Structure 1
Amino acid sequence: MADESNDLQLEAPAAEADADAPRHTIAVVDGNSLMHRAFHAIPPTMTAPDGRHTNAIFGFVSMFVKLVETFVPDGVICAFDKGKPRVRMEMLPQYKAQRPPMDPILHEQFPMVKDLLRTMDVPVCELEGWEGDDILGTLARRGEAAGYDMLLVTGDRDMYQLVTEHVNVVSTRKGVSDVSIMTPESVDDLYHGVTPELVPDFYGLKGDTSDNIPGVPGIGPKKASALICQYGSLDEVIAHADEVKGKMGENLRAHIDDALLSRRVAIIRTDAPIECDLASAKFPTFDPETVRAAFSELGFTGMTGRVLALAGASAAGAAPARAFELDRRLDAPALLEALRDAGEAGEWVGLALVEPADQGTLFEPELSVWASCEAGAGQLNGDAARSLLVHALENWRVASGDVKALMHAVYPVDSSLAATPDEDGRPFDPA
């Protein structure tokens, strides 16, 4: 199924499915949205053995794996923007014009993550001049009509307009770990009466500063939802504009054209000419050894076991089971030195989290980890433990009974959390 081209060139479903047939689930990932969130959530100090930056890719893959572990979709597709958003710029020339250029460190990781997705046999969909949002919208409606339940994975709230009984948005709200599942009911609750089909009307009034969509000056989210709930739609708000009092009414009457244009720009297109056979988007279908080699090349040794487990493959080749002798207890300085030597020598380093219940504190438990190598073992706490985990997962061969727990201790993280500095104010460096 893997496609060597950037666009997935397969046939679209030709007919609607039998309403009584069981519905399979397909997840469509907004690649640009998740890559941006991952980049700002994980420090850019993370690199592959050959020096390439990998922080956005690592965060993206972490979210991808969590998605599959949580929802177990029958298929996964990933969509990306390609070129300038011509479709919307034709309507609104200043669309997204205020955004600064993409950070070069992030930019260089997009071809790498697409290659990694193809290695995992995940279709990559992109179409010149179209945004990933419109590809998600198109596939959502095609999939729903063909009898699939669709999961749209994105951080963009304007995608809530696509939500139906069989199309849900998995919304990343904060960092890369906090997500919510948007249903028609939850969209209605979030916007205080604005249903999914009225989300474009909502944006028509309030605009969207992040995309340079003007809306109506002085009308924010609360006023926009109140007006729509009172009158029923943007068209009805405009029809009753003379009834809206004060400055808000003046702005509304003066910016009717802006409101209508903003609604048009905010509508997610569902007619992108993308060719994609949803029935072929099965996951997992990757070759374990190929994936293992690709992850090793990027230095993601700690992630390999989780990815291979998605296909039921053994992770034994990534982290062989072994026991370390614990008869030599090392203090923190000696332990860090021993771990540094072991890690740089390519030896396996054993890591295990200390359960909070065992720490004996009434306050928020600090991170604590047991670490071991051939030279001995010991315990690290707080900043030292966090810095060790970050460095080990990025650079060393890690053996653990629960690698997932180790990664969740430090990844995903919020954008405010970077590699924890040592007492000299520098990120952890065993050298």
Structure 2
Amino acid sequence: MNNKKLFLIDTYTILYQGYYAYIKNPLFTSQGINTSPIIHFTYFLINTLNEEKPSYMAAFFDTSRKTFRKKEYPKYKAHRKKTPRDISIAMPYVVNILKSFRISSFYAKDGYEADDLIGTIAKKAEKKGYMIYIITLDKDFSQLVTKNIQIYRPPFKGNPKKILGIEEIKKKFGVIEPKQVIDLWSMMGDSSDNIPGLPGIGEKYARKFIQKYGSLEKFLNSTHDLSGKIKKNIEKNKKLGLLSKRLVTIVTNVPFFYFQEEKFSVKKPNWNSIKKIFCELEFQRLLKKTYQYKKKEWENNPFHS
């Protein structure tokens, strides 16, 4: 069993899950702060530390800066709504909670998204013999799945956690290997990110062509096998397909971004800082749960400093 477990948190997906889970009945402090996304994230964090006992963990955030995807294709994610105000307000608290638990946080670098940072660290850590779990609700990370990189979906509303490995991704998307989901979305497009794809190619045809040709490029070089309107559409829009592939591909070699074990190691939390934040946010139940975690995990534990 591999004890070198690295957990990488796609922070925004967890915050959004909490925000919408309580959308009809949000939780407010006496000062009027909507703590729904914060308390959801904090419960998730403590539960993960309790149940999974990771030796290494880090959280990742997007920024508002333009990425290379947006520069190359201005319509990329153009239909996305502005970040809800309550999530924006929650962010500083979440960052402080992570700092108090002494979990490192990383912000997207100029030109890149948090996905690219996670992808880069996952691949670098994999080469060093780590088992990597990407904590996310975002399907885009499916392309990174290997024997040693898996998707971790936390428990939610009574449903148990889900670990998505190679076989789960192959079955879910109908591909031969996980990295082919890049080619799948390049062909069929992706409405959630406003990826155009190839005109006239839906999921059924995209899966068929992936299984036959293996990649977008091989398919685009085999249009002589096609006929009629679909052949005309594909030959006319080859550049659009290749653009789509660049947009959906997670970068795994972000420049000057490295996996340094000491920055990712799970250390003993700052209990006084945690108590101060929880009191400010009026998290009485969480204070009790955190004390239980403190007593259970950190007393006489030789694996944490």
Among candidates 27, 42, 53, match of residue 7 of structure 2: 27
Shift of 1:200: 1.2
Check 1:209–1:24 CA distance in 2 against 1; reply closer, same or farther (3 A cut).
same
- The answer to whether structure 1 residue 76 and structure 2 residue 68 are counterparts is no
Cα distance between partner residues in 1 of 2:67 and 2:55 = 33
Q: Deviations over 1:306-345 (max 9, x none)?
A: 334334359xxxxxxxxxxxxxxxxxxxxxxxxxxxxxxx
Give the secondary structure class of the aligned counterpart of 2:72: coil
Q: Give the secondary-structure state (helix, strand or coil) at the position aligned to 1:26.
A: strand
Which residue matches 1:292?
A: 275
Relative contact order (C-alpha < 8 Å, sep 6+): which is higher? 2
Task: For residue 276 of structure 1, report the CA deviation from its aligned partner.
Answer: 5.1
Cα distance change on mapping 1:176 and 1:92 into 2, 3 Å: farther
Q: What TM-score, normalized to structure 1? A: 0.63
Matched, 1:60 2:30: no
Query: What CA deviation, in whole Å up to 9, does each residue of 1:18-55 have, x standing for no partner?
Result: xxx95410101001121112211123631223321111
**Cα pair 2:78 2:194 within 8 Å, conserved:** yes
Measure, in 1, the Cα distance between the counterparts of 2:257 and 2:295.
32
Preserved CA contact (<8 Å) 2:143 2:179 = yes
Residue identity matched to 2:95:
K
1:209 aligns with 2:191: yes
1:94 equivalent among 48, 55, 75? 75
Q: Is the 8 A contact 1:193 1:229 kept in 2?
A: yes
- Number of equivalenced pairs: 295
Higher helix share: 2
- The worse-fitting range, judged by mean Cα deviation, of 87-96 and 199-208 is 87-96
Cα pair distance change 1:101/1:174, threshold 3 Å: same
The letter for the 1-side match of 2:15 is M
> C-alpha displacement at 1:158, in angstroms?
1.3
* Bigger Rg, which one: 1
Structure 2 CA distance, aligned partners of 1:173 and 1:257? Answer: 41
Q: Which amino acid is the alignment partner of residue 5 of structure 2?
A: T
- What is the distance in 1 between the residues matched to 2:71 and 2:192? 18
Distance 1:249 1:175 in 2: 47
Greater Cα offset, 177-186 or 123-132:
177-186
1:265 aligns with 2:247: yes
Unaligned ranges ≥5, structure 1: 1-20, 315-431
Note the C-alpha offset of 1:160. Answer: 0.8
Give the direction of change, closer, same or farther, for the CA distance of 1:98–1:283 in structure 2 (3 Å limit). Answer: same
Cα separation, 2, equivalents of 1:176 and 1:160: 24
Residue 131 (structure 2) pairs with residue 184 (structure 1): no
Q: 1:216-255 to 2 correspondence within 5 Å?
A: 216-245=198-227, 247-255=229-237
1:150 partnered with 2:121: no
Aligned equivalents of 2:252, 2:98: Cα separation in 1: 24
Q: Which residue of the partner structure matches residue 290 of structure 2?
A: 307
CA distance in 1, matches of 2:184, 2:154: 21
Identical pairs, percent: 24
Q: CA deviation at 1:303?
A: 2.0
Give the CA deviation at 1:261. 0.7
1:46 aligns with 2:27: yes
Taking a change above 3 Å as real, the CA distance of residues 70 and 206 of structure 1, as seen in their structure-2 partners, is farther
Instruction: Give the structure 1 partner of residue 303 of structure 2.
Output: none
Would you say the 8 A contact 1:127–1:274 is kept in 2?
no
